[in-house]
């Protein structure tokens, strides 16, 4: 059976047989849920990409749910949207650790997106990230290994090739969304040549 080819609104052709590819969005809800992340989610869906963005129906707590772990593990690509308050959420940090484990185990593609926070702030845990970790170290004083794991995950993720709202899109959200969607579509049309190597 021949694969059908479609052209998306961005002018890129893609093989619709790759629509089973899944993208997971990791983000701090209070920072970007109603703005950048929801717009990115919509653009990916419109491009024919199955995209997981957690909703208010998921139970919240310190640990991420099995449902969320399955969504991460079932994705070929994770987009980690770093924003000012990302590091203040143990939930987000646990998601990030799981995402990076999937990267190691299965070759999942992981792209950091720096939304009004510079890669160096994330990498070196300065500014609000430093404040967040001061608070986390007090809160998890009996489990500092977990805090160290979160710090290492942030450093690892910040060292990956990704996207910066200010540097890559001159602060224009829609421009950055177009860049990211086109990158995802290029990975999809490549047929997963970078996956599971």
**Are the CB atoms for 131 and 144 separated by under 8 Å?**
no
pTM, two decimal places: 0.85
The question of whether 95 is a catalytic residue gets the answer: yes
193 has a pLDDT exceeding 90: no
Average pLDDT over residues 23-32: 95
Q: pLDDT digits over 65-107, tens only?
A: 788 899 999 999 999 999 999 999 999 999 999 999 999 999 9
Res 68: pLDDT: 86
Sign of the CA dihedral with 182 first, then 188, 194, and 196 last: positive
What is the tens place of the pLDDT at every residue in 46-65?
A: 999 999 987 644 445 556 67
Place of tokens 């009004």: 116
Topology, domain 17-189? Rossmann fold (3.40.50)
Lowest mean pLDDT among 7-11, 24-28, 170-174, 177-181: 7-11
Considering the candidates 30, 63, 76, 95, report the single residue annotated as catalytic.
95
């Amino acid at each position: 059976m021949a694969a059908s080819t479609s052209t998306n609104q961005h002018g890129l052709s893609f093989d619709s047989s790759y629509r089973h590819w899944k993208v997971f969005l990791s983000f701090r809800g209070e920072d970007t849920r109603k703005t950048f992340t929801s717009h990115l989610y919509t653009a990916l869906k419109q491009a024919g990409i199955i995209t997981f963005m957690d909703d208010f129906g998921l139970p919240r707590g310190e640990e991420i749910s099995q449902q969320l772990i399955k969504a991460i593990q079932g994705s070929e690509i994770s987009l980690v949207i770093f924003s000012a308050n990302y590091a203040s959420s143990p939930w987000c940090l646990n998601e990030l650790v799981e995402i990076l484990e999937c990267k190691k185990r299965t070759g999942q593609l992981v792209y950091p997106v720096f939304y009004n926070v510079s890669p160096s702030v994330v990498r070196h845990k300065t500014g609000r990230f430093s404040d967040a970790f001061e608070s986390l170290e007090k809160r998890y004083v009996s489990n500092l290994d977990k805090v160290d794991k979160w710090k290492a995950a942030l450093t690892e993720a910040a060292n990956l090739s990704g996207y910066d709202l200010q540097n890559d899109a001159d602060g224009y959200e829609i421009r950055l969304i177009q860049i990211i969607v086109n990158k995802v579509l290029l990975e999809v049309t490549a047929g997963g040549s970078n996956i599971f190597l």
